[in-house]
């Protein structure tokens, strides 16, 4: 049992909770401070979990829902603006964990060029393919097709699900990214988002997200804390644009993060205060909340 960021075998209990009726145990690494589930205990560490079970548990239906598509559409618009502000205009794009393909379709419309997606969920992958998108069930299937390299590889709300996030990022940098290419990552912000979920193996803070990218040989170009597309006031998410580091040591040790538990409690206290004082700005309504 090892930390998902630094590989340390020294960790302590952080919290016990439940998600969708399942008991969850999170631990904190004593070396780097990451909060994570152990792969031995988590069902989500099994790759087969995502083929059919994941969406059924989370949404009660393996098919894309109106709410899910609404969030994906608005998140796609934010991410395109984010890239354009950094003057990133990719022409060969890979989206890992592409879900319904909403982001890929938006990328194709905004930037043109060629797109491909990796999505293990059968129903979501079929939905994306029905929109004319090129999709693969796994990174192995993508590698077998040999379609790279890509100017942009995106992992939007994917990194927190991966049993080997550092290894996956290294593989993307070494095998999938074109020279001069960029990585786009978004994860829940542990200091504002609920974060504890059955499928969330790791809980990322701004610090630990930067450290895991550094461990995998990337440097941060831009890191933004924000609430898009769910909140005007709460910084629920972390979006990072990264590029391969010019120089990388063979031994990269993570910088430890302290007071994670205290910062988590203060962040959630602020969230509760904002929700109480500004309920309509704290959370934007979703389609089913408006009766659609």
Kindly report, residue by residue over 197-213, the tens digit of the pLDDT. 999 999 999 999 999 99
DSSP symbols for 13-56:
EEEEEEETTEEEEEEEETTT--EE--TTT-GGGSGGGGTTHHHH
Task: Say what the pLDDT of residue 291 is.
Answer: 34
Residue 141, domain extent? 56-244+255-285
In Å, how far from its chain's centre is CA 283? Answer: 20
Bridge partners (DSSP) listed for residue 11: 29
Q: pLDDT truncated to tens, each residue of the chain (292 aa)?
A: 899 999 999 999 999 999 888 899 999 999 999 999 998 887 665 666 655 566 566 655 667 888 889 999 999 999 999 999 999 999 999 999 999 999 999 999 999 989 999 999 888 999 999 999 999 999 999 999 877 899 999 999 999 999 999 999 999 999 999 999 999 999 999 999 999 999 999 999 999 999 999 999 999 999 999 999 999 999 999 999 999 998 765 557 899 999 999 999 999 999 999 999 999 899 999 886 543 3
Asked if residue 153 belongs to a domain, the reply is yes
Asked if residue 18 belongs to a domain, the reply is no
Asked if residue 187 belongs to a domain, the reply is yes
Question: Where do runs of H (alpha helix) occur along the chain?
Answer: 53-59, 66-85, 102-111, 122-130, 139-145, 165-171, 206-215, 260-277, 279-282
Asked if residue 5 belongs to a domain, the reply is no
Q: What is the CATH number of the domain that holds 275?
A: 3.40.50.150
Strand arrangement of the beta sheet that strand 11-19 belongs to? 11-19, 22-29, 35-36, 202-203
Task: Say what the pLDDT of residue 146 is.
Answer: 77
Asked if residue 48 belongs to a domain, the reply is no
Task: Say what the pLDDT of residue 36 is.
Answer: 97
Kindly report, residue by residue over 114-151, the tens digit of the pLDDT. 999 999 988 899 999 999 999 999 999 999 987 789 99
> Which residues, other chains included, contact 150 with Cβ-Cβ below 8 Å and sequence gap of 6+?
90, 92, 93, 94, 116, 176, 177, 178, 181
Asked if residue 46 belongs to a domain, the reply is no
Asked if residue 41 belongs to a domain, the reply is no
Asked if residue 34 belongs to a domain, the reply is no
Distances (CA, A) of 243 to 85, 162, 257: 16, 20, 23
Task: Say what the pLDDT of residue 188 is.
Answer: 98
pTM, 2 dp: 0.93
Count of the separate structural domains present in the chain? 1
């Amino acid at each position: 049992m090892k930390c998902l960021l630094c590989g340390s075998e020294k960790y302590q209990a952080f919290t016990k909770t439940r998600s969708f009726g399942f008991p969850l145990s999170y631990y904190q690494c004593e070396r780097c401070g990451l909060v994570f589930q152990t792969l031995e205990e988590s069902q989500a560490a099994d790759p087969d979990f995502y083929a059919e079970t994941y969406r059924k548990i989370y949404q009660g239906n393996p098919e894309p829902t109106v709410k899910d598509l609404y969030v994906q559409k608005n998140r796609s618009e934010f991410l395109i603006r984010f890239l354009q502000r950094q003057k990133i205009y990719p022409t060969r794009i890979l989206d890992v964990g592409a879900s319904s393909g909403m982001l890929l379709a938006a990328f194709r419309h905004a930037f043109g060029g060629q797109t491909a997606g990796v999505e293990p969920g059968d129903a979501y992958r079929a939905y994306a393919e029905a929109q004319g998108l090129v999709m693969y069930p796994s990174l192995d299937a993508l590698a077998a097709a040999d379609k790279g390299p890509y100017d942009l590889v995106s992992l939007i709300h994917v990194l927190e699900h991966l049993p080997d996030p550092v290894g996956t990022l290294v593989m993307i940098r070494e095998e999938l990214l074109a020279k001069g290419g960029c990585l786009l990552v978004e994860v829940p912000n542990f200091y504002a988002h609920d974060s504890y979920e059955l499928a969330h193996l790791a809980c990322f803070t701004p610090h630990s997200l930067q450290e895991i990218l550094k461990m995998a040989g990337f440097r941060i170009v831009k890191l933004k804390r924000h609430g898009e597309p769910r909140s005007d006031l709460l910084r629920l998410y972390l979006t990072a644009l990264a590029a391969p580091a010019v120089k990388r040591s063979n031994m990269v040790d993570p910088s430890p993060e302290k007071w994670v538990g205290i910062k988590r409690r203060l962040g959630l206290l602020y969230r509760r205060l904002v929700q109480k004082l500004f309920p309509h700005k704290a959370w934007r309504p979703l389609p089913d909340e408006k009766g659609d």
